[in-house]
Amino acid sequence: MLFIVKKIPYKQLIKIESKSWLLQKPKPKWAKDIEDGKVIYFESLQFKLSKHEKKLFSPTIIEPHTRNISLNSNGSIKGAIGTEEDIKALKAMIERFRNHAKNLIYSAFPEYKPYLKLAPTSFRPLDVVSRNTSWRADDKRLHVDAFPSRPNYGERILRVFINLNPHGVPRVWRIGEPFENIVERYIEKIKPYSYIYAKLINLLGITKALRSEYDHIMLGLHDAMKSDMQYQKKSPQITIPFKPGAVWICFSDQASHAAMSGQYMMEQTFHLPVAKQYNPKKSPLEILQVKTNKKLT
Ligand code: SIN
Ligand code: FE
C-alpha cells in the first residue's frame, strides 16, 4: 500500500556550522529553535578515537540483556564487560564525550548553565534494528520521551547525541510534527488522571515517585503515538540519516522522534527546570496547562 506522508509545515531540523564544541557567540535564534521543539545538528564536531577506544566498538562490550552502558557522574560504570584496560578506556571515552556535550550546551545556551542537572552518560553499542522490544519501548516509533517509572513533574529533558559508527553507517532518525499538533490530536483520548492509581503504583514500586497529572498526560501522548500505526506511517515527518561524526541536540520530551537504524551512539541527558527556559511558555508543561486549563505539576 502506498502511504502519503505529509511534509512538516516548517523546518524541523536546523544546522549550525561549527568545528568546535565550544560555540562562539551564541545566537538567540538557537534557544528559540530548541525551545520550539526543533532538532539542532552539527555535521562535524571532532571526536577522535584512540587505538584502544576503537576496539571497544563491538556489541560484546555490553552485558547481555542491557540496552546501554552508562557512566555516572561519580565515575562508576554500568552495563559493560571487558578487561580492566577496556573498562578504563571506555570510561575515559564516555567522560570525554560528556565534557564535550557540556561545553556545547553551556556555550549554546549560557543562561541554562547554572540550572542544568547532569544525568548519566550513555554509550549504545547495539544495532537499533535488532533490538527486540514491546511496542511501548520501541523507539523506532515516533514518540516524545516520557518514562513510565520516572515521573519528572515537567522538568525538561535536553539531550545531546553523537553517531560514532566506525563503518560509515548513519543513525537514521525520523522527526515528527510539532508538539502542539500532537497535543491537539490526542489530548481528548487520554483517560482521566487517577490520584488513587498513581498512589497505588507508587506503593507497589512501579514508579520511583508519585506520577503527577503532567506525567500521566505525557505518558498518554507517548503511548497514543506509539500505538497508532496509521499515525506512525502517515503523520507529517522527515527522515534524517545522521552520518558518523554528526552531533544533534533536542528537547526530547517535546521533539517527536524515532530511531530507525544505526549502531554505536553516545548520548548525554541534561535536566532543566521549566522556569529557567528562555521562554517557559514553550514548555510541554505550559502548553498542556493552557490546553487543559488546569494547573499541572
Ligand atoms: C530515543 O531517544 O528514542 C532513541 C534515540 C536513539 O537511539 O538514537
Ligand atoms: Fe526517545
Q: For residue 54, how far is its CA from the centre of ligand 1 (angstroms)?
A: 22
Whether residue 229 lies inside any domain: the answer is yes
Single pTM value for the model: 0.95
Which residues have beta carbons under 5 A from ligand 2 (an ion)? 145
Name which of 44, 102, 51 is nearest 245 in CA terms: 44
CA distance 131 to 244: 20
Question: Roughly what angle, to the nearest 10 degrees, separates helices 179-186 and 284-292?
Answer: 40
Whether residue 85 lies inside any domain: the answer is yes
Residue 8, pLDDT score: 64
3-state secondary structure 209-276: CCCCHHHHHHHHHHHHHHCCHHHHHHCCEEEEEECCCCEEEEECCCCCEEEEECCCEEEEEEEECHHH
Whether residue 5 lies inside any domain: the answer is no
pLDDT in tens, 211-234: 999 999 999 999 999 999 999 999
Q: For residue 195, how far is its CA from the centre of ligand 1 (angstroms)?
A: 30
Q: For residue 286, how far is its CA from the centre of ligand 1 (angstroms)?
A: 25
Ligand 1 atom with the shortest distance to the CA of 252: 2
Ligand 1 atom with the shortest distance to the CA of 258: 3
CA distance 286 to 296: 8
Where residue 118 falls (left for φ over 0; alpha for ψ -120 to 50; beta otherwise) is beta
CATH number, position 174? 2.60.120
Q: For residue 253, how far is its CA from the centre of ligand 2 (angstroms)?
A: 8
Counting the structural domains of the chain, the total is 1
Residue 1, pLDDT score: 46
Determine the structural domain holding residue 54 and report its residue range.
Answer: 13-291
- The stretches in the chain having pLDDT less than 70 are 1-10
Which residue's alpha carbon is nearest to atom 8 within ligand 1?
259
163 lines ligand 1 (CB under 6 A): no
Beta bridge partners of 159: 250, 269
Residue 190 CB burial class (10 angstroms; 0-12, 13-18, ≥19): middle
Whether residue 91 lies inside any domain: the answer is yes
Whether residue 297 lies inside any domain: the answer is no
Q: For residue 258, how far is its CA from the centre of ligand 2 (angstroms)?
A: 7
Residue in the structure block whose three cell numbers are 549502531:
263
Whether residue 273 lies inside any domain: the answer is yes
CA distance 90 to 275: 36
CA distance 215 to 271: 15
Which residue's alpha carbon is nearest to atom 6 within ligand 1?
259
Ligand 1 atom with the shortest distance to the CA of 143: 3
